[in-house]
Amino acid sequence: MTAYRRPLDVVILAAGQGTRMNSALPKVLHPVAGRPMVAWAVKAARELGARNVVVVTGHGAEKVEASLEGQGVVFARQEQRLGTGHAFLCGIDVLAASLQGNGHENADVLVLYGDTPLLRPQTLEAMLEDHRARGSALTILTGELLDATGYGRIIRDAQGDIAHIVEQKDATPEEEAVGEFNSGVYLMDSRASVLAHCIGNDNAAGEYYLTDLLGLYRAEGEATHAFKLADPDEVMGANDRTGLAELEAILRRRINADHMRAGVTLQDPERISIEDGVQIARDVTLEPGVILRGQTVLAGGVTIGAYSIVTDSVLEADVVVKAHSVVEGAHVGAGSHVGPFARLRPGSVLGAGVHIGNFVETKNARLDAGVKAGHLAYLGDVQIGAETNVGAGTIVANYDGINKHPSVIGAGVFIGSNSTIIAPRTVGDAAFIAAGSAVHDDIPEGAMAVARGKQRNIEGWSKRYWGGMRDKVQKKLPWLAGWLERQE
């Protein structure tokens, strides 16, 4: 963003309850595209280059403040909800106290809301440039709708300047017909702090309205202007779950369009969900139904198969994740293949060229380059060396009912199908494990372990067993019934 000579401070109003959400979660904490709504406002302030950010909290204050911990914001508590003017006053007083007179008199102040995640930083930047270029003391962000029902209306005088703002409930029929509305976003010069203390509550609700700042600035003879949104949907909020879904859909389309313009192939954008924190290089392909969450990073050439979910994971170049796989908290090396129907749980680290096949699950597992686990395996709390082959049905039994135990399997090991490795075990390099073994001792390098009962064949068993149920066999198993007859 552009560096401005005059500093900018931001006050974010996030004290409301949002009763129509019908939720124990504060309204501003409901997530949209991977971020709580209030975090979108903080992100916009940071991208705008804000010097200080104050978040005014009220309902669910502890939860809201905890969600923004570590993001460099200051909090102000609005203990009584007495209107937007009172909320702003709580924020500006905390801001002034934190600055202790250090530069506050030269800063502009921007008011944002914790429930409008669609407002673009680029729009706010243009508003700020316009505000300063025109020497405005107060700039109001407005929009135009054919039907602005629910919004306060912008009423202009004969010269086209803003005369006043009228709330919907107080508007005359002529004023209701006005399409220009007040978004509630204000940009003010440093006098905002002094003038905010002059806002009164002589109204039916007994509340302090931030809109009164317009009249206070005009009474000072100061220039006040409007900056009109090109897209009025940018200030759309969410009062219930339906509105929340609409915000999600709009942001999803924005995020997906940005990735496609950057060289990512989305085969069906309407059915692909990418959260805001995800990083994707060019020439990545996402098939229908893919969900990418958290701090996921995809390198160039990655392909994610249909209906797979990737969360907080790093996939290096040319990784292929086949359909219906779940990858969470994992690091997958270049050229590896995962799935279909595979699950990589947190702590899974795959080297280059690893193959994880269908219905294989890994957890806290490190698999070095070239390891193959093609089918029906569970690999938990284990290190596996390069080029080891894990047979179908292999289980690393890592849990004793109380504790998890680690195992180490060397490089070049061949593990036969349906083997169980009972942790903690060490298997040496180039060892063999015979199919069906339950390995309960360590295996030296290059040795073969056979850990299963000796086979004993009992002649005539099938004839006696099935012959005792001959009537049922004849009804349900015709081939077997014929075989029994041939044994007579």
Q: How far apart are CA 303 and CA 318, in angstroms?
A: 7
Which one from 324, 331, 375, 405 is the annotated catalytic residue? Answer: 375
Q: How far apart are CA 237 and CA 132, in angstroms?
A: 27
Q: How far apart are CA 388 and CA 410, in angstroms?
A: 8
ω into 340 cis (within 30 of 0): yes
Active site residue 30: no
Q: What is the DSSP string of 5-73?
A: SS-EEEEEEE----GGG-SSS-GGGSEETTEEHHHHHHHHHHHTT-SEEEEEEBTBHHHHHHHTTTS--
Strand ranges for 178-284 from DSSP E:
180-188, 224-228, 265-266, 273-274, 279-280
SS3 421: strand
Q: How far apart are CA 280 and CA 299, in angstroms?
A: 6
Amino acid identity for residue 464 in this structure: R
Contact between residue 37 and residue 29 where contact means Cβ atoms under 8 Å apart: yes
Give the H/E segment covering residue 321. strand 320-321
Structure tokens given for 300:
């160039």
Q: How far apart are CA 181 and CA 225, in angstroms?
A: 13
ω into 26 cis (within 30 of 0): no
Collect all residues with Cβ–Cβ distance below 8 Å to 226 and sequence separation of at least 6.
139, 140, 141, 142, 154, 162, 180
Q: How far apart are CA 467 and CA 67, in angstroms?
A: 69
Amino acid identity for residue 70 in this structure: G
Burial degree of 430 (CB within 10 A; 0-12, 13-18, 19+): middle
Q: How far apart are CA 58 and CA 80, in angstroms?
A: 8
Structure tokens given for 72:
């460099």
Q: How far apart are CA 227 and CA 124, in angstroms?
A: 10
Residues that are catalytic: 375
